[in-house]
Amino acid sequence: MQLSSLKIIITGAAQGMGAHFARRLAEAGAQVAAGDVKEEGLAALVESARGLPGKIHARKLDVSSEADVGAFVDWAHGAMGGLNALVNNAGILRDGLLVKKDRTTGAITKMTKEQWDAVIGVNLTGATFMVRDVVAKMVATEQKPGVIVNMSSIARHGNRGQSNYVSAKAALAANTLTWSREFASYGIRVGAVAPGMIETPMTQGMNQKARDALVANIPVGRIGVPEDIWLAVRFVLECDYFDGRTIDVDGGLAM
């Protein structure tokens, strides 16, 4: 699909990769519906896109709320005069070992249900309902072609201290293939991009020791930037022969 023809939802668009994708798409002439829980970031995003060939529309969105997802999709369709694409980008971290024994006291701590539920609610359940409702809208309006880009992660292969995150991102990668098969008859492609270590507000909040150790294991010798991931997202959006696969963009990182 041509970028200028896109009427596309981007979740988690107030900062980091989501904001970068939204601006790049607006530069290419696309209509973008940007959603996030951070309304100040959305307002700044809209302001930064003034004068670009495309347009960014923005509205608060909590993807962990099923009602919010449905209302946002309806709003986006109306605001843009149609809907033919989604970048499923919203995500959070609540890292912690599933079970940890304190070396000094011997005390046992466990990942809490709150940690588990928060990450699964946003990164998997919310992402799944976004796909469900966007595709339902496309099918109801007989929109063809359409394209979905899921943001997975190289953590899906397994990463210490991220049982919740790994579970969500592995499921998204697996369902990228599932959904590509389910939606093919509707003319809708589904692809995924799996970033490695990328410089965003979310990764900037990581434990510094863990962050340094990860960067040391990146063969290209640097942390990634949102533009690196945008190049892969753009490929999935534009290449009509790409479907059902996940692209790792990680600088060769072995976690």
Residues marked as catalytic? 165
How far is residue 31's CA from residue 1's CA, in Å, rounded to a whole number?
14
Q: Is the CB of residue 34 less than 8 Å from the CB of residue 7?
A: no
Give the list of residues 6+ apart from residue 181 with CB closer than 8 angstroms, or none: 244
- Residue 152, Cα to own-chain centre: how many angstroms? 7
Owner of token pair 């997202």:
233
How far is residue 189's CA from residue 85's CA, in Å, rounded to a whole number?
9
The answer to whether the peptide bond before residue 195 is cis (omega within 30 degrees of 0) is no
Rounded to a whole number, what is the largest CA-CA distance in the chain? Answer: 62
Which residues are bridge partners to 109 per DSSP?
100
Q: DSSP state, 21? A: H
Residue 120 — left, alpha, or beta (φ > 0 → left; ψ -120 to 50 → alpha)?
alpha
Q: Is the CB of residue 122 less than 8 Å from the CB of residue 160?
A: no
Q: Is the CB of residue 205 less than 8 Å from the CB of residue 163?
A: no
How far is residue 71's CA from residue 35's CA, in Å, rounded to a whole number?
11
How far is residue 64's CA from residue 135's CA, in Å, rounded to a whole number?
18
